[in-house]
Amino acid sequence: MKNNLTKKRALAEFEMFLLVASIISFSALLSGIYSAKEVSAISLPSSSAEQCCLTTKQGASCIDLPLSDACKEQCSGTCQQTSCSEVSECKSGCGFDKENGLCTPNTPKKACDESPSCEFFDDAFCNINECQKGCCILGTNSMLEKLSKVQGVPSEFHLDTPDELQCISLSQNANTGACVFGDSEEPSCKFTTKSDCESTIKGIFYQDYLCSNPELKTKCEKQKSTSCVEGKDGVYWFDSCGNQENIYSSDKIRSWNNGKVLSKEQSCNPNSANADSANCGNCNYELGGICGESRTGTDTKPTYGNYVCRDLNCKDAPDNGGGKANRINGESWCVFDGPVGTGSIASGKSSSGLGDILQGITLGGEIGLMSTDLVGSRHFRYVCQNGEVVSEPCADYRKEICVQNKKSLDNGKQIDEALCRVNMWEQCISLNGGIGSLAGQMTGGAPTVCGPECLFQCIRNPDCRLQPVLVDTDFWFTACVPKYPPGFDLGETSGLSGLASSGLSSALGSAGGIGEIAGSALGSLGGGNSGGSSAQQVCSVGTQTCTAIYVKMCPGGWKCVKNCQCEEIGFTLQMNNLCASLGDCGVYANIAGQATGLGAIITKKGSHGKTPPQPFILIPLYMALAKILKGQPSNGGFFNNVGGILQLPLYGISSMFGMTLSDLSPSVGMNFLGRASAGFNPAFTAGATGAGAYAGAATSMSLFGPSSIIGFTGAFIGAAIVIGIMYLLGCGEVEKVEIKFECKPWDRPFGDGKGIFDFGKGSGCDFCNKDPLKICSKYRCESLGTRCTLINENTGEDKCVSIEGEATIPIITPWEEILNKTFFKYQDSSTNGFRVRTSEGECIQAFTPVVFGVKTDVYSQCRWDIKQTGFENMSYEFFESGKFTKNHTLSTVLPSVESLVAGETGSVEEFNEAMSNQSLKNSLLNALGDMNIYVKCANLDGKANDQDYKINFCVKPGPDLTPPVVIATAPAENSVVAFNATEQETLFYINEPAECKWDLIRPNSPTLENYNSMANTLTCDTNMSSQNILGFPCIATLPVVSGENKYYLLCRDQPWLEDNSSRNLGASAGKEYEYILKTSASTLEISELKPEGIITRGTEPVSVTLEAETSGGADSGNSVCYYSLNESNGYIRFFETATNKHKQILTSMTKGDYTLKVKCIDVSGNVGVKTSSFSLQLDGVAPEVTRVFYNSGTLTLNTNEDSICHYGDSVGCIFDANSSVMNGANSKSHTASIEKNSTYYILCEDIWGNKKSGCSIELTPYQT
């Protein structure tokens, strides 16, 4: 017995359990709560979040800048206290250049006003008559131009030919021939079109005749020279007069064709490019040949003349995997940095297509399935252009992907055609459901990840795929993940994204001194990377815990009975594959094929079983995958052509966690921006801030389970405690072993990234500069190593270099500024470490949050552990995660001995028995009285200090005499809930494990009797693993009635003591806690909705502005609205919304009848719905004169629609801008003073430019 106790003590002391309970996913939880307003259903900014600068110091016009000093710093004038869309000078419209007939969309009014020839139209997309294009044919030339630009110029103008290619074709197919004019003895001749000959030259036209035809007896001699013709591909003969003849062929007789026109199809080798042909000039641009002067040494010398078809094709153009291929001119194809899309380690394949669908449907696939895009990789589109291979990189960070299809040419040949388009990865994440309720989360209920609807939508989306995780019978799920995961800003990954103290307190409604301590201390951690990627946040959704169950058999010992496979390599492989498929997370390889192992780690909590192999053992596998697999382009599904891209809606990306109402589920096709699907529990998420938002955040952030959000605490406590207690008490029945896979941001290789094994591919920073067709970028460069940095960014001289310096081993010192000196201090600081104590030098009270940190003299990554070990083996990171900084932050909440023991025992008897074991208790007290964590930091080269830096804590012993305190609530106090809400799920955070009750009636005093008489009990999680920096969560569903609702909360700490009277009672300064919720004063109404009725325009497409105005609800009508014109496509968020005025411009509407449905939701979950109908009609008819009469010298004329009427004596009504206009322009009634007995010609034109050819009316007034 004694030996066993000694053994257990040794174990306890050895394992140095440390209650750094709050090494949670701090940012995940708190930023989820802090950004409740963003993560909730609605994101409602207060008034205007931006200021408009008319002209910045850099010269940019009409720029929205944030509401801060940024505007004053950047603006050369005064900042307008509103956004630019509300400033008249910055109002966007169409700028029409009257002089040149040019149209410029999205032009600010002030820019137009500055130009005297500019006319401003409200339609920002220039869907106006003046800007309607048609085909203008002038001679043999053509141009797609606006009508306004060609008026007054003799030409043909075809409004029904808006396509450029058709227009060119029209001109080329125009009848051509010889136009003979001049001296009858020896006439001149010009080869042109019939219309040009007759109207301009006024000659005699001979269709299909060449000017050198002897029948015409012109002075032009045939086939004198060769040259190119503008707008045509081939080499042509020219006669002595300079007229174009037929296509060049060395067979002169054939090509002269007896003086008649010979078509391209009838000329030599019509189906060939004829590149470098000395004898045939029938070039074909599409096939790779075009007319050009013969270059010595490059082109073939033609038999006659100096012009030849130049070869425009590309020989040995670079292809994927280092290969080469011949490409023809105009062909485009995708090139990648390595494997892309879905790949399988087992099959060794990387591609996308039908196979993925099958794999997704069967939910089996191969265990090695993952999204294979390498860290730092980018998609490229190569184009063969006139003999040269040109690279067009798709957007970096894989924001765009390259998709490729086959295209058939006229001669039947198939070529590749590639396109960069937006990567719709967001939809994949948002399709996953999550935990339906916080209650379920707290009790560890099984997660629902990708349900049937999610599966269906995921398969439909060409950029999404299903990632099955099938480890054991009770640990399996499927998630919808991006096929091409997006990249992160590798230099900016941070665990503190978006956190600020003010937001923290307002979101949480902190209460009590402890909350304020937490708030102020945590507030100093604010800043972070609010604008960029929160890699830590994102990767943490891949953090999952598998719980294996062990049962003690007597005899037989402990045996695993459930989820035993979680201890095997399969768990590691599948979880890492999932992790790497979310983004730049986990263990994976970069574009140089170098893989790093710090992006994921597996920990085990429990004394039985084994820890599965760590993810870093997969490094060789991923390195091989990166080198061996070649990228295969996908066809991209829909949106695989330019026309498809135009269908993508053009508005800001909403929070992918924003959408919570189940009946507003979006369509994948129409909304590439994506939202959380109907997996949320609508009732729970009503009243979006706070609890709902938390759930939303939790659900969205954690695809798979609760533990990644709430985090784990006291991880190693159980390891020692359980052994001792369970052994002491005899045969335990069941023990859970929690195997946690922690998915973290991908770690860059240390130093300049030069690997030991580079397989001849090269590595290091210079790898980025090697290929001129794959330009180096910040993302690519930083992925190669911690020392790799891009210089001359975006200048065209970009280069990835290795930065020097910062090579010394880091020296660690205490970070004074982070510590709240009012309550704490560092003691006994030395080069080996320091102690954290209260400001009085005493041990810290249990359940007190402490924020502290260390500084290093060089930029470094710091890690810590409870045991002394090497840097690479340390299990835990500081809040700064993988970022190289000089300041490193940690926080902790220290529990009491009793809470530790209670967390590991199942009943009061067990607890009492454990606590009565004096030596166990003493060993725990000693351990809590002297806890150490060991810190090591590594510089940019990965060199860490050999000696551990020790940080010491101690917990103040003694009985717990302080009552529990409510630290924070969600929703915040005095929040407003929906008008018709009947209940509200609410979270209360208590600073220590406690049991709580609530009632509508205030208890007279905080006594046990009053506590027991309270009607309702909260569900509280008192497990140490549920603890975070704010404490222990308790949840309740509070009934809500109209108006103000007050609730009173009381808590008893130390639940393990059951009815023991030493339990403390309180919730706020020893008394009850009052919590208030209010309902909205009214429902949310959509007071105005436009358009309605009939809308008439002159041309298609038509721009239609949807406008809605909301009122009432929780916040004076401020809400987020969505519209639908076709319910089967779902609802789409208004581009301008989140206030009480909502606007959406639709630019490509065609005529027809439409039913517009609008739904709005405000911050409290009030919903307003309205429907309107409108009809778009086109007016292509000229105005008609309905009535005319003349009296006493005044002519009065009425038209059937608003119009402007010109009048005068011009027969045929040919009027210019200076002609007389009748009074009443743009109305239906027009008057003018005219003389009797004179004939007047009147032409009326409506506001769309419709007018009759000729006159509307001719009249001669007579004296009656």
Write out the binding residues for other proteins, residues 496-515 only, by CB under 8 A: 497-498
- Whether 888 contacts 937, CB under 8 Å: yes
DSSP letter string over 819-884? S-TTTEEEEEEETTEEEEEETTSPPBPTT-EEEEEEEEEEEEEEEEESS---GGG--EE-TTTT--
Q: Which of 16, 75, 103, 1204 binds other proteins (CB under 8 A)?
A: 103
Residues that bind other proteins (rule: CB under 8 A) add up to a total of 85
Window 941-970: residues binding other proteins (CB under 8 A): none
CA atoms within 13 A of residue 634's CA, in its CB half-sphere: 27
Q: Which is nearer to other proteins, 126 or 664 (CB)?
A: 126
Window 644-663: residues binding other proteins (CB under 8 A): 645-646, 650-653, 656
- Distance between CA atoms of 954 and 216, rounded to whole angstroms? 113
Q: Which of 8, 9, 778, 1230 binds other proteins (CB under 8 A)?
A: 778
Q: Which of 4, 6, 100, 1042 binds other proteins (CB under 8 A)?
A: 100
Which one-letter DSSP state was computed for residue 1240?
Answer: E
Q: Which is nearer to other proteins, 859 or 1135 (CB)?
A: 1135
Q: Which is nearer to other proteins, 106 or 175 (CB)?
A: 106
Element (DSSP H or E) covering residue 1228: strand 1227-1233
- Whether 12 contacts 724, CB under 8 Å: yes
Window 523-562: residues binding other proteins (CB under 8 A): 531-535, 537-538
Q: Which of 319, 396, 857, 930 binds other proteins (CB under 8 A)?
A: 396
Task: Quote the tokens at residue 441.
Answer: 């989360």
Window 843-862: residues binding other proteins (CB under 8 A): none
- Distance between CA atoms of 722 and 724, rounded to whole angstroms? 5
Q: Is the peptide bond before 1261 cis (omega within 30 degrees of 0)?
A: no
Q: Which of 276, 392, 453, 1184 binds other proteins (CB under 8 A)?
A: 392
Q: Is the peptide bond before 849 cis (omega within 30 degrees of 0)?
A: no
Residue 393 in contact with other proteins, rule: CB under 8 A:
yes
Q: Which is nearer to other proteins, 437 or 494 (CB)?
A: 494
Residue 287 in contact with other proteins, rule: CB under 8 A:
no
- Distance between CA atoms of 849 and 30, rounded to whole angstroms? 14
Residue 768 in contact with other proteins, rule: CB under 8 A:
no
Element (DSSP H or E) covering residue 501: helix 501-508
- Distance between CA atoms of 660 and 680, rounded to whole angstroms? 6
- What are phi and psi for residue 778, nearest 5 degrees? -60, -45
644 residue type, one letter? G
Angle CA(308)–CA(312)–CA(318) in degrees, nearest 5?
155
Window 117-146: residues binding other proteins (CB under 8 A): 117-118, 125-126
Residue 777 in contact with other proteins, rule: CB under 8 A:
yes
Residue 236 in contact with other proteins, rule: CB under 8 A:
no
Window 1011-1070: residues binding other proteins (CB under 8 A): none
Q: How many C-beta atoms surround the C-beta of residue 414 within 10 A?
A: 9
Least distance in Å: CB of 116 to other proteins? 10
Q: Is the peptide bond before 971 cis (omega within 30 degrees of 0)?
A: yes
Residue 95 in contact with other proteins, rule: CB under 8 A:
yes
Q: Which is nearer to other proteins, 393 or 679 (CB)?
A: 393
Longest Cα–Cα distance in the chain: 135
Nearest Cα to Cα of residue 448 among 469, 434, 465: 434
CA atoms within 13 A of residue 541's CA, in its CB half-sphere: 28
Q: Which is nearer to other proteins, 230 or 1009 (CB)?
A: 230
Residue 168 in contact with other proteins, rule: CB under 8 A:
yes
Select the span of 7-15, 569-577, 770-778, 1221-1229 touching other proteins (CB under 8 A): 770-778
Select the span of 553-561, 792-800, 1105-1113, 1192-1200 touching other proteins (CB under 8 A): 792-800
How many residues make up the chain in this entry? 1264
Residue 59 in contact with other proteins, rule: CB under 8 A:
yes
Q: Which is nearer to other proteins, 111 or 1188 (CB)?
A: 111
- Whether 206 contacts 180, CB under 8 Å: yes
- Whether 579 contacts 586, CB under 8 Å: yes
Residue 797 in contact with other proteins, rule: CB under 8 A:
yes
Window 321-380: residues binding other proteins (CB under 8 A): 330, 332
- Distance between CA atoms of 74 and 56, rounded to whole angstroms? 6
| Burial status of residue 695 (CB atoms within 10 A of its CB: 0-12, 13-18, 19 or more) | buried
Residue 386 in contact with other proteins, rule: CB under 8 A:
yes
Q: Which of 259, 288, 376, 583 binds other proteins (CB under 8 A)?
A: 583
Least distance in Å: CB of 94 to other proteins? 9
Residue 395 in contact with other proteins, rule: CB under 8 A:
yes
Least distance in Å: CB of 631 to other proteins? 19
Least distance in Å: CB of 584 to other proteins? 8
Select the span of 107-115, 455-463, 565-573, 949-957 touching other proteins (CB under 8 A): 107-115
- Distance between CA atoms of 1145 and 570, rounded to whole angstroms? 51
Using CA atoms, how far residue 868 sits from 144, 517, 948, in Å, is 76, 31, 7
Q: Which is nearer to other proteins, 649 or 1070 (CB)?
A: 649
> Mask 611-650, x = binds other proteins (CB under 8 A)?
-------------------------------x--xx---x
Task: Quote the tokens at residue 873.
Answer: 């083996």
Least distance in Å: CB of 371 to other proteins? 15
Using CA atoms, how far residue 460 sits from 227, 278, 463, in Å, is 54, 53, 9
Least distance in Å: CB of 80 to other proteins? 15
Residue 1150 in contact with other proteins, rule: CB under 8 A:
no
- Distance between CA atoms of 201 and 222, rounded to whole angstroms? 22
- Distance between CA atoms of 699 and 433, rounded to whole angstroms? 7
Which one-letter DSSP state was computed for residue 20?
Answer: B
Q: Which of 73, 122, 164, 1058 binds other proteins (CB under 8 A)?
A: 164
Q: Which of 81, 104, 524, 1111 binds other proteins (CB under 8 A)?
A: 104
Residue 115 in contact with other proteins, rule: CB under 8 A:
yes
Least distance in Å: CB of 58 to other proteins? 5
- Whether 196 contacts 155, CB under 8 Å: no
Q: Which is nearer to other proteins, 512 or 745 (CB)?
A: 745
- Distance between CA atoms of 714 and 207, rounded to whole angstroms? 95
- Whether 252 contacts 268, CB under 8 Å: no
Q: Which of 159, 390, 807, 1076 binds other proteins (CB under 8 A)?
A: 390
Residue 1147 in contact with other proteins, rule: CB under 8 A:
yes
Q: Which is nearer to other proteins, 84 or 1197 (CB)?
A: 84
Window 436-475: residues binding other proteins (CB under 8 A): none
Q: Which is nearer to other proteins, 485 or 1033 (CB)?
A: 485
Select the span of 725-733, 790-798, 826-834, 1235-1243 touching other proteins (CB under 8 A): 790-798
Window 472-501: residues binding other proteins (CB under 8 A): 486-489, 497-498
- Whether 402 contacts 419, CB under 8 Å: yes
Q: Which is nearer to other proteins, 700 or 896 (CB)?
A: 700
Residue 68 in contact with other proteins, rule: CB under 8 A:
no
- Distance between CA atoms of 722 and 414, rounded to whole angstroms? 69
Residue 563 in contact with other proteins, rule: CB under 8 A:
no
Select the span of 418-426, 712-720, 907-915, 989-997 touching other proteins (CB under 8 A): 418-426
Beta bridge partners of 1194: 1191, 1233
Q: Which is nearer to other proteins, 9 or 778 (CB)?
A: 778
Residue 397 in contact with other proteins, rule: CB under 8 A:
yes
Enumerate helices (H) and strands (E) in the chain, giving the number of each.
Answer: 29, 69
